[in-house]
Structure 1
Amino acid sequence: MEAQLPDLEAGKRFYGELFGWDFEEGYGGSVWARLGGEPVAALERKTDGRMPTVWTVYFATPDAQTLGRRIVAAGGQLVVAPYPVGDLGRAALAADPEGAVFGLWQARRHPGFGRRHEPGTFAWAELYTRDTTGANTFYGGLFHHALFAPGAEPDFGRADVTDVFPAEMPPHVLTHFRVTDLDDALATVRRLGGRVQAPPFETSYGRVAVVTDNQGASFALLRR
C-alpha cells in the first residue's frame, strides 16, 4: 500500500501526526512508514504531475506476470507491467473492467504489511463500483476465493459507488485506516489541512468517513 504524493515531507508531517507513524528511507527515494517498528505503508514522490495523487492498495501474488495475463483475459488491463523493485519484490499496476486501479506485489525480501487491523494501520479496502455482480466475478475469479462472502477475512469489500459518492465519481478502490476515535481523527485531518469528503456513515464493517489529505489523496477512516 502506497501513496503517490507531490511533497513527501508534507506527507510525512501529515500522516506522522495523524497515525503516529515514523519514517525511514525506502527504495528509489520513497519512504517507508512504520508503526511500532513494523512497516505499515509507503509514501512515494509523484514524478509526473499528470498522474493522480492517490493511495493504491496492492494485492499479494506469487507470480505477478501470470496474474497480469489473467487480469487481461478477464477484461481488465495492465496499467504498468510487472517490474523489479530492487531485491524487495516485483510490482505492477492493473485496472479492473470498470477502470478501478489496484496494485500487484510479488514479494521477495519485503513481504508487505508488518501490522494491520490496528489503530493507525490498514483496516479495509472498499471497491466502489457500478457493477457489483461483475466485481464479484472478476475479483473472485482472480484470487480463487469469495472475496465478498460473509465470514471471509475482513480486508476487502465492494459497494455501489453511488452509495457514498456522486454519480459522476469513477469506480475506484478506497483504502481504509483504522482509528480509535473517528471524531478526533476527523478533527486532526482538518487541523492538518485535509478535508472531509464524506462525513461519518455506518457500514457493515464499521463507522466510516472519507477524507483527503493536505495534498488531495483520498482515503477513509474506520472505527470498528
Structure 2
Amino acid sequence: MKPIGHARPGFPCWVSLAAPSLQAAQKFYTAVLGWTWRPTGVGEEFRTALFGGAPVAGVGALASSLRSAAAWTPFFAVEDADATAARIHERGGTVGVGPLPFGPGRRAALAADRDGAVFGFWAGEALPGWPSGPDGAPAWLELRTRDAFAAALFYGEVFGWASPESSCSVEYENDEVIVREAGRKLAVVHGGAVEQAPDPEVRPRWYVHFRVPDVTAAVAAARAAGGTVALAPTASPAGRQAILRDPDGGLFTVTAA
C-alpha cells in the first residue's frame, strides 16, 4: 500500500476543530493539553496546534454567520478524493463540502456516514505527528454509533480496511469493532451488540482521544479553563479516560492509555 506522507490510504491522518472563537479555543487547549500554536499559511482564521514541536491538530474559526457548537472532525487519508466521494454516495453517505484544494497538492472534503456521523478525507501529503505521537497528540479515534457492525462495513468499504491490499486488521470484541495496524489501535467503532437492534437514542459521532499523562489533572485543568465534564474519569479496557467539553461545546476524550 503506497504511503501518503506519514499516513497510508484509509488511515487516520489529521483532526481539526471548528470553533466559534479561535482565540478562546487556543487558550483552552493550551491550558488542558499543553499545546502551542503556529499559523497555517491558509488564512488568519486557522492555526496548527503543536506538541513537542510536532503538528497534532488544526483549529479554524467558524464563520460568524454559522451559529453552531464547536466540533472535532477526524480526517482519513485517501489516494483519490473523487473516487472516495463516489464510494460514500454509493453506500448511502453524503459529501457536504468538497473535495476542494487545501494547501499545495492536497484536496479535502467533509462527509457524513449513513447515520450522520461527520468525518473528512484528505488526498495528498499528510502532516507529521499523526496518528500516534507524544503525550498531547491524538491517540486514536472512536465512533459511537447505533450499529457498530453496519458502520464498520460502511467505513471498511469506503476506506478499504479489509481489502487484500490493506495492512489493517479488523476485529470484533466486547461489542466493538477495532481497526489495528501492526498491533496499533487506529480506530474503534462502538455501538450495541450485533444481536441487538440499533439504539435510536444514540447520536452518532466521532470522538478524538488525546493522550495525557494524568486524566484527573486534565479534567481539573478543563474545569478551570471554563470547560465541563461530559463523562467523569472512568476505567475502561482502553485505560482510564474522561470525555470533556470545551467552553464552545466541542467534545473530546482524554485518555491515559
- Tell me the TM-score normalized by structure 2: 0.79
| Aligned pairs (5 A) from 1:75-86 | 75-86=92-103
- Is 1:12 aligned to residue 26 of structure 2? yes
SS at match of 1:57: strand
The 3 A distance-change label for structure 1 pair 65 and 52 is farther
Shift of residue 45 of structure 1?
A: 0.4
Work out whether 1:152 is the aligned partner of 2:180. yes
Q: Does 1:103 align with 2:135?
A: no
Match of 2:43 among 7, 11, 28: 28
| Residue pair 2:129, 2:137 contacting (<8 A) in 1 also | no
Paired residue total? 219
1:168 to 197, 201, 206: 201
Matched residue SS, 2:115: coil
Q: Partner residue of 1:189? A: 222
1 CA distance for matches of 2:133 and 2:36?
A: 18
8 A contact 2:74–2:119 mirrored in 1: yes
1:132 corresponding residue in structure 2 = 148
* Alpha-carbon spacing, 1:95–1:194, altered in 2? closer, same or farther (3 Å): same
2:59 is aligned, of 39, 43, 47, to 43
Q: Does the 8 Å CA contact 2:141/2:187 hold for their aligned counterparts?
A: yes
Query: How far apart, CA to CA, are the structure 1 residues paired with 2:78 and 2:68?
Result: 25
Instruction: Indicate yes or no: 2:81 matched with 1:53.
Output: no
Number of the residue aligned with 1:209: 242
Equivalences for residues 87-126 of structure 1 within 5 A? 87=104, 89-108=106-125, 111-115=126-130, 116-126=132-142
Change (3 A) 1:192 1:167: farther
User: Which amino acid in 2 is paired with 1:24?
Assistant: R
Q: Please state how far the C-alpha of 1:144 moved relative to its aligned partner.
A: 1.7
Whole-angstrom distance in 1 between the partners of 2:255 and 2:170: 18
Aligned-residue offset at 1:113: 4.0
Higher mean C-alpha displacement, 13-22 vs 70-79: 13-22
The 1:181/1:219 distance shift into structure 2, 3 A limit, reads same
Q: Quick one: distance in 2 between partners of 1:92 and 1:173?
A: 16
Return the letter of the residue paired with 1:93.
L
Deviation readout 1:118-166 (Å, 9 max, x if unpaired): 310101111011111101211111222246426723110011279xxx9
Q: Would you identify which runs of 4 or more consecutive aligned residues in structure 1 move more than 4 Å?
A: none
**Paired amino acid for 1:77:** T
Report the 3-state secondary structure (helix = DSSP H, G, I; strand = E; otherwise coil) of the residue aligned with 1:159. strand
Q: TM-score, normalised by structure 1?
A: 0.90
Contact 2:31 2:222 in 1 (8 A): no
Q: Tell me, which stretches of 5 or more residues in structure 2 are unaligned?
A: 1-14, 163-168, 172-177, 194-198
Q: CA RMSD in A?
A: 2.0
Whichever residue aligns with residue 2 of structure 1, its letter is S
Deviations 1:83-123 (A, max 9, x none): 00131511100111111000111123xx1342524310101
Amino acid at match of 1:112: L
Specify the SS of the correspondent of 2:155. Answer: helix
Q: 3-state DSSP class of the match of 1:28?
A: coil
- Aligned partner of 1:141 in structure 2 is 157
Answer 1 or 2: which has greater helix percent: 1
Letter of the 2:190 partner, please give it: A
> Any gaps of 5 or more consecutive residues in structure 1?
none
TM-superposed deviation, 1:8: 0.8
Structure 1 residue 21, shift from structure 2 partner? 1.2
Q: CA deviation at 1:74?
A: 1.1
Corresponding position: 1:74 with 2:107: no
